[in-house]
Chains A and B, each alone.
Chain A
Amino acid sequence: QQQVKQSPQSLIVQKGGISIINCAYENTAFDYFPWYQQFPGKGPALLIAIRPDVSEKKEGRFTISFNKSAKQFSLHIMDSQPGDSATYFCAARGNSGGFKTIFGAGTRLFVKA
Chain B
Amino acid sequence: DVKVTQSSRYLVKRTGEKVFLECVQDMDHENMFWYRQDPGLGLRLIYFSYDVKMKEKGDIPEGYSVSREKKERFSLILESASTNQTSMYLCASSSRPRYSEQFFGPGTRLTVL
Contact = CB atoms under 8 A, between A and B. Distances in A.
Interface stretch (B70-78, B79-87, B99-107): B99-107
A105 B40 contact: yes
B106 A42 contact: yes
**Interface range on chain B: under 10, 10 to 19, 20 to 34, or 35 or more?**
20 to 34
Contact of A43 (B4, B31, B42, B59): B4
A106 B42 contact: yes
B25 to A, nearest CB: 12
Contacts of A74: none
Per DSSP, chain B at the interface is: strand
A51 interface: yes
**Interface range on chain A: under 10, 10 to 19, 20 to 34, or 35 or more?**
20 to 34
B43 interface: yes
Interface of B: 4, 31, 33, 35, 40-45, 48, 50, 56, 58-59, 90, 92, 94, 98-99, 101-107
Given A32-B99, A44-B104, 17 more contacts: A36-B104, A43-B90, A43-B106, A46-B101, A49-B99, A89-B42, A93-B99, A98-B48, A98-B50, A99-B31, A100-B45, A100-B58, A101-B102, A102-B45, A103-B35, A105-B41, A105-B42
